[in-house]
Amino acid sequence: MRNLLIFLLAGWVFCFNAHAEPPNPDNLQLASVSAKVASVNDGSALYEKRADWVVPIASVTKLMTAMVVLDSGADLNERLEVTKRHFPAAANAYSRIRPGSRAKRKDLLHIAVMSSENYAAYLLAWHHPQGYDAFIQAMNDKAQALGMENTQFVDSSGLSIENVSSADDLVTMLTAAYGYEEIRNASTSAKHDVWFTHPGYSLYYANTNPLVRSSRWDVLLSKTGYLSEAGRCLVMVANVQNKPTAFVFLDSFGKRTPLGDAGRTRRWLSGTASGRIAGAAAQYEKDKAQKLSVVQIAQD
């Protein structure tokens, strides 16, 4: 009888927790200017902070780039020539890839999403079966098809500040990207070596999100981004209490700030104290939010 009572009590606790309300959002303080946390399973929002603001998204763009490549049905084993860009490269578009060499489409996709290789993302668009312009159009068409009404793409790398979206829309994009096994695997691998031909050489790449290498995290999909106008960005899907959860953190100060926001959010979801924000990061968030509020009013 005692064992039966324990079993029934455990079942009651499980059912109660399964239907429990998310923690109080007032107890979570984040350094990112804009953010959203949501359940991947049902799309329900767990936390929102200026989630409707339209802002530059930098290399978060590359998740849409990867989806369009995979949707095209192009041969992933085809070796693509490293051609020169047909427009001037951005100041921060440095790449170790040698013009004239060749790499497999699947390797370029891998390092674009894992290591945020800008040249690789450009080459994926350039070698689209219908051409570069059609690739960019396909990015925007897919965004519209997904219901991402506040999103626009003008390049495949995210180097343009005209690539914009909102945290609301990016949760939608994350959920869609989560459905692609190739993107999940590439974005969460710790490293990747690419063998180029004509001439033959190899390049080593590492993941830009250190959380994929952390034993404390179970990251299922990941993408980072940075431009001075966009700040530090991080979007990812991670298991939290055995539930795939979408995290979107846009425009924060310093490389480690979005990682800190991720940790604070996970602790908050687990019912523990989320933790404090560093003074410099908090001041950045306050100043940037004041500046961007004017832009958002103008857009409305």
Domain assignment present for 155: yes
Is residue 179 within 8 A of residue 149, CB to CB? The reply is no
Range of the domain at 164: 24-299
What distance lies between CA 140 and its chain's CA centroid? 17
Domain assignment present for 9: no
Cα dihedral sign, 234-50-53-180: positive
Selecting among 32, 116, 157, 165, the annotated active-site residue is 116
Residue 236 makes CB contacts below 8 A (sequence gap 6+) with 174, 209, 211, 219, 220, 221, 222, 223, 246, 247, 262
Is the confidence at residue 159, as pLDDT, over 50?
yes
CATH number for the domain spanning 146: value is: 3.40.710.10
Confidence of residue 40 (pLDDT cuts 50, 70, 90): very high
pTM given for the model = 0.91
Domain assignment present for 217: yes
Selecting among 59, 160, 166, 222, the annotated active-site residue is 59
pLDDT tens digits, residue range 49-60?
999 999 999 999
The tokens describing 86, both together, are: 């047909």
160 is catalytic: no
Domain assignment present for 14: no
> Rounded to whole angstroms, how far apart are CA atoms 164 and 126?
21
187 is catalytic: no
Q: What's the mean pLDDT in 258-266?
A: 97
Is the confidence at residue 91, as pLDDT, over 90?
no
What is the pLDDT of the chain when averaged over all its residues?
A: 92
Q: What's the mean pLDDT in 251-278?
A: 92
Confidence of residue 128 (pLDDT cuts 50, 70, 90): very high
Domain assignment present for 176: yes
Domain assignment present for 190: yes
Q: Find the helix or strand (DSSP H, E) in which 206 lies.
A: strand 201-206
Q: What's the mean pLDDT in 152-180?
A: 98
Selecting among 36, 49, 62, 223, the annotated active-site residue is 62
Q: What's the mean pLDDT in 237-262?
A: 96
Domain assignment present for 175: yes
> What pLDDT does residue 296 have?
83
Q: Taking the CA atoms of the chain, what radius of gyration do you get in angstroms? A: 20
215 is catalytic: no
Q: Could you tell me the CA-to-CA distances from 227 to 1, 90, 235, 267, 268 in Å, in that order? A: 63, 11, 15, 28, 28
Domain assignment present for 168: yes
Q: What's the mean pLDDT in 186-213?
A: 98
> Rounded to whole angstroms, how far apart are CA atoms 188 and 233?
16
Domain count, the chain: 1
Give 291: exposed, middle or buried? Use CB within 10 Å, 0-12, 13-18, 19+.
exposed
Q: What's the mean pLDDT in 190-219?
A: 97
